[in-house]
Amino acid sequence: MNDLPIHKIQISGTTLASVLHRFFSSSGDIHGLLFGHVSFSTTISLSDDLTSNFSTVTTTDSASSSAADGPTLTATITDFLSIPSHFPLPLQHHHRDDPSSVLVGWFSGRRKTPLRPSVKDSTTTLSLASSASHSFTPLDSPYPLSLPPSLFLLLSTPFQEQLIHTHEYKAFQYRVSTDSFDPKSLDIINIGPSFRSHYGSFSPISPFPSMTCDLRGPNAMAEDEKVETLVGIKKGLKDQKELDLCAEGFEIGRLSKLMGSDASNYTAELEHLYDKMLVKLDSLARLVEKSSAKVLEQVQSCRLRMNFDNSDGISPFVRSFAGEDSYL
Amino acid sequence: MAIDAIPPLISAQLNYLVTHSPFSVKVENMWPGGKNTGLLDRFSLVIPFCLDYIKWDVIYNAVYPLAAPDVIFGAEDENFRPYHALGGASDSKSLKNPLTDWNNRDPTRLFSLVLQLRELYKAYQKKRVEEVDDDRLKFEISTMLSREGIEMSLSSNIDKPEEVKFAVPLLDLDLNKMVGGSTWRHQQKIYLQVIYPVGRKYSSAPSAPRLKLVSSPELKAVFSIDDFRLPAWLDGMCMAEYLPTLEEMLESQIKDAVSSIDSRRKLIMALAPLFGRPVEADPVFCRKATFLSSSGVFTFLVHVAIPLQFPKQQPSLMLQSSQHFNSQGVPIKSLVSTEYPWSPRWDTSDMAERIFDFIVDECLNFKKYCNESILQNR
C-alpha cells in the first residue's frame, strides 16, 4: 500500500451541507463513511496575468519539489453514509466496483467537543488506513498505485450556543508512515460559473447505498471464512429472527434483489410485500373496529343500568344539591 | 424533563473514579452533548501529572448511555495515541484497549480507563524525553532511573524554549502513617521539581537546573516546604549527587515537624487545667485550640493558634467576646497577639501558665475595648 500525501480534498457544497444537516438533526453523535475518488491533479492554472503567474512560480517552488516525490493527488468526496455513532461503521458491505465512488475515509460528528481526533477517532482511522481490503486505485493512475482510505472529517458544534456559526469542521489525512493527522483544507465546490473547471472532474452521481439485508451473508462459504465467536453467531441469529418476524413471510433477503440492474424484475415482489402489509393493516383495523364496538356496547349497557337505578332521571349530584338547598 | 442532570450510569462511573482514584481527579466542567436533552454527558477531567495538570475531555453519549465513552486529549498532546502501538505488541494481552469491550454497567470502568491512560501517557512522555538529543539529559535520566515513580514531561511551546521537567518523589517515608490519626485520602508526598533547559549541544559547564520543592497541598498542616531551604547546586553537579543530601536534610526536618505535633499537643493539654477543657481543638495536627473563659461576668473565647515552628515560635492568641457584637451581629474580636513573654526553653506547663497570666491581664483591656466599640456604634 502506498502512503502518499493527498494535496487537496474537494467536496461539493450540497454533500457537505447534507453531512452537516444530518449531524445537526440527529439526536446524538453520528459517524459514517465518506465515498468519492482520488484523481491526479490535471487542472493547470493558466493565466495571462503576468504578475500572478510570476507569484505562482515563486510560491510553487516547494510544491513542485513535493510533486517530484510523488504525484499530486486530489480527493473528491461525492457521497456519504451516516449512522449514530454507537453503531459500528458498516465497512464490510462496501466493496464497490465503481471506481468513481470508493471508500476514501470516514467522518465523525460529535457536539460541543474540541476539533481534535479522539482516542476512538485515531484508532478507527488507523485501522481503516492500514487495512489492505479497503485500499483502492486512484482514477487515471499512470502506474499501479494503491491508496488506503485515509481521510478523516471531524465535525463539531461550538461550545457557546450564542455564536453565529452553528458548526465547525476540520479535515485530516492520516499518514500511517508518520502516525500523524495532517490537517487539510476542504475545498467546497459549488455549482456556478466560477467552478466550471471542476465540472469535468466532478461526479455528482450518488449511487443507492447497498444495505445489509441479510445478516446471514450472501453464501455459506463466505461465512465460514469469517472467524466468529459463538456469542456473535447467536446474536446474529436472534437479530435475523426478529427481522424475519417483521417481514411476515416476505424474506428480508429478497429485498436485496430490489437493487441493481435487475431491480425492474422484482418490483412485483415489492408490490407483493405491500399487499401483505395492507392485508395486515386491514385485519388490524377490523380488529380495532370490533373491539371498539364491544367497548361502546358495554359503556351503553352500563349507562342504561345507571339510569335505571335513579329512575327519576335526576343525577345524584343534582339531587343532593337540591336537598341541601331545601335544608337551608 | 430532567434539565442538567447526569445520567445515572455515567454518574456512577464518575463517582467511582473521583472517590477511588489514587490521585486527586477533578471534574472541571460538565456540559450536554445531546440536541434536545439537558443530560450532561461530556466533561473535562483535570488529572495531576508531573506536578502539573493535564486536561482530558471525556465524551459519553447520553442518547445511548451504554456506549463506550471517548477521550480527547489536550491540544499539546495531539500525538499521544495510546492504543496505536498495541497492534502487534507482545503485551497486547495485558494491555488491550478497554474501549473495545466496554460495559457501562460496571462503575469501575472509567476509573480503570483513566488509570491506564495515565500510565500510557507517562510512558509516552518518558519516550519523548528520552528522544531529546541532549547529552546531559541522557546522563541524568540514566542515573536517575533507578528511582521509582519519576514522572517527566517535555514542554513544547512554540513561544518558549524546550524544557524537560522531572517530578522526583523524595523520601521513602509513608507520611500518612507518620502522622497518627491523619484523615488524608491520598498519599502525601514531597517532590522535587527539576526543569532542564534543552541544550542539544554539549557544554562543559551546563547551567543549573531550576529546582523547586513541591508537596501535596494537605501536607501544609504539618510541614511547610516554603520554610525549607534547598541546598546549593554546585557547578558540574548531577541529580544523583544532589538528591541524597537533599533527602537527608528533608528527612530530619520532617521528623522534627512530626515531633512538633506532639509538643503542640502537650501545650494544649497543659492549657486545659488552667482554662478548662477546650471548646474546640485540632486533634490531628494540634494547630488550633479554643477555650471558653471568663473574668467576672465577662465571658469570652480564647483562640490559640500554634505555629509549625512551635516551640521556637510562640502561639498567637486572639480573644473573642461572647457578649459583645458589632452592628452586623458579628462577635467582637481582639487583634492577634504574640506580644507576651516567651522562651522556647521553658517547660510546657510554664508556657501554659505564662499564656494564662497574659490572658488574665489582657481580658480586662479587651473588655474595655468591647464596651467602647459598642458605645461608638450607638
> Per the CB < 8 Å rule, is B72 touching A119?
yes
Per mean pLDDT, which range of A152-166, A206-220, A253-267 is the poorest? A206-220
pLDDT of res. A196: 65
DSSP secondary-structure letter at A254? Answer: G
pLDDT at B1 exceeding the cut of 80: no
pLDDT of res. A202: 57
Q: How far is B216 from chain A (nearest CA, A)?
A: 30
Chain B residues near any Cβ of chain A (below 8 Å): 31-37, 42, 57, 59, 61-64, 66-68, 70-73, 75, 78-79, 81-84, 97, 99
Question: Can you state the angle between helices B239-275 and B348-377, rounded to 10 degrees?
Answer: 70
pLDDT at B89 exceeding the cut of 90: no
The answer to whether B99 and B60 are in contact (CB under 8 A) is no
Cell numbers standing for residue B46: 483535570
Per mean pLDDT, which range of B227-241, B293-307, B311-325, B362-376 is the poorest? B227-241
Cell numbers standing for residue A5: 500525501
Per DSSP (E only), the strands in B251-373 are: 280-281, 288-295, 298-305, 316-325, 331-333
ω before B311 within 30° of 0 (cis)?
Answer: yes
Give the residue carrying C-alpha cell 513573654.
Answer: B341
pLDDT of res. B10: 87
**Angstrom distance (rounded) from CA B214 to CA B219:** 10
> Per the CB < 8 Å rule, is B70 touching A118?
yes
For the segment A91-97, the average pLDDT, to the nearest whole number, is 62
Q: Does A112 touch chain B (CB under 8 A)?
A: yes
Neighbours of B100 (CB within 10 A): 10
Question: Which of the two residues, B36 and B320, has the higher pLDDT score?
Answer: B320
pLDDT of res. A26: 87
pLDDT band at B378 (very low <50, low <70, confident <90, very high): low
> Per the CB < 8 Å rule, is A116 touching B78?
yes
**DSSP reduced 3-state for B241:** helix
Please give the model's pTM, rounded to 2 decimal places. Answer: 0.68
Cα B152 from chain centre: 19
Q: Does A232 touch chain B (CB under 8 A)?
A: no
Residue among B220, B333, B314 at smallest CA distance from B267: B314
Backbone angles phi, psi at B30, to 5 degrees: -135, 140
**Angstrom distance (rounded) from CA B336 to CA B354:** 17
> Per the CB < 8 Å rule, is A27 touching B57?
no
pLDDT band at B330 (very low <50, low <70, confident <90, very high): confident
Contacts of A28 in chain B (CB under 8 A): 33-35, 61-64
pLDDT at A318 exceeding the cut of 70: no
Q: How far is B84 from chain A (nearest CA, A)?
A: 7
For the segment B358-366, the average pLDDT, to the nearest whole number, is 88
Highest mean pLDDT among A138-142, B141-145, B356-360: B356-360
pLDDT of res. B250: 86
Contacts of B31 in chain A (CB under 8 A): 112, 159
Give the nearest partner residue to A86 out of B34, B61, B84, using CB atoms: B61
B44: part of which helix (H) or strand (E)? strand B40-49
Contacts of A111 in chain B (CB under 8 A): 33-35
pLDDT band at B376 (very low <50, low <70, confident <90, very high): confident
**Angstrom distance (rounded) from CA B102 to CA A296:** 53
pLDDT in tens, A222-243: 444 455 567 777 777 777 777 6
Q: Does A109 touch chain B (CB under 8 A)?
A: no
Interface probe for A, chosen from B28, B39, B61 (most Cβ of A below 10 Å), is B61
Q: Does A165 touch chain B (CB under 8 A)?
A: no
Contacts of A113 in chain B (CB under 8 A): 33, 42, 57, 59, 72
Neighbours of B175 (CB within 10 A): 22
pLDDT band at A56 (very low <50, low <70, confident <90, very high): very low
Q: Does A167 touch chain B (CB under 8 A)?
A: no
B170: part of which helix (H) or strand (E)? strand B163-170
pLDDT of res. A58: 37
pLDDT at A302 exceeding the cut of 90: no
**Angstrom distance (rounded) from CA B93 to CA B297:** 77
**DSSP reduced 3-state for B316:** strand
The residues, ordered by sequence, that sit 6+ positions from A327 with a Cβ below 8 Å of its Cβ are none
Contacts of A181 in chain B (CB under 8 A): 78
DSSP secondary-structure letter at B343? Answer: -
Q: How many CB pairs under 8 A join A and B?
A: 81
For the segment B22-33, the average pLDDT, to the nearest whole number, is 87
Q: What radius of gyration, in Å, describes the C-alpha atoms of chain A?
A: 31
Cα B145 from chain centre: 25
Give the nearest partner residue to A86 out of B64, B71, B72, using CB atoms: B64
pLDDT of res. B97: 75
Question: Which of the two residues, A294 and B376, has the higher pLDDT score?
Answer: A294
pLDDT in tens, B106-149: 888 899 999 999 999 998 998 888 888 777 888 888 887 777 78
C-alpha dist (Å) from residue A204 to A42, A137, A190, A193, A208: 19, 20, 11, 16, 13
For the segment B81-94, the average pLDDT, to the nearest whole number, is 57
Cell numbers standing for residue B135: 547529552
pLDDT in tens, A20-47: 999 988 888 899 999 888 887 654 444 4
pLDDT of res. A326: 43
DSSP codes joined into one string, A107-118? EEE-TT--SS--
Q: Does A180 touch chain B (CB under 8 A)?
A: yes
DSSP codes joined into one string, B186-220? S---EEEEEEEEP--S--SSPPPPEEEEEE-GGGG
pLDDT at A328 exceeding the cut of 70: no
pLDDT of res. A197: 63
The percent of residues in chain B predicted with pLDDT above 90, rounded, is: 8
Q: Does A21 touch chain B (CB under 8 A)?
A: no
Q: How far is A309 from chain B (nearest CA, A)?
A: 46
The percent of residues in chain B predicted with pLDDT above 70, rounded, is: 93
Interface probe for B, chosen from A20, A29, A125, A155 (most Cβ of B below 10 Å), is A29
pLDDT at B105 exceeding the cut of 90: no
pLDDT of res. B203: 59
The answer to whether A29 and A85 are in contact (CB under 8 A) is yes
**Angstrom distance (rounded) from CA A327 to CA A321:** 10
pLDDT of res. A171: 93
Question: Can you state the angle between helices B8-20 and B109-130, rounded to 10 degrees?
Answer: 60
The answer to whether B75 and B54 are in contact (CB under 8 A) is no
Q: What is the mean pLDDT of chain A?
A: 74
pLDDT of res. B45: 93
For the segment A196-210, the average pLDDT, to the nearest whole number, is 58
Neighbours of A205 (CB within 10 A): 9
> Per the CB < 8 Å rule, is B78 touching A181?
yes
ipTM of the complex: 0.72
For the segment B267-276, the average pLDDT, to the nearest whole number, is 88
pLDDT of res. A325: 45
pLDDT at A262 exceeding the cut of 70: no
> Per the CB < 8 Å rule, is A114 touching B57?
yes
Q: How many helices (H) and strands (E) does chain A have?
A: 8, 8
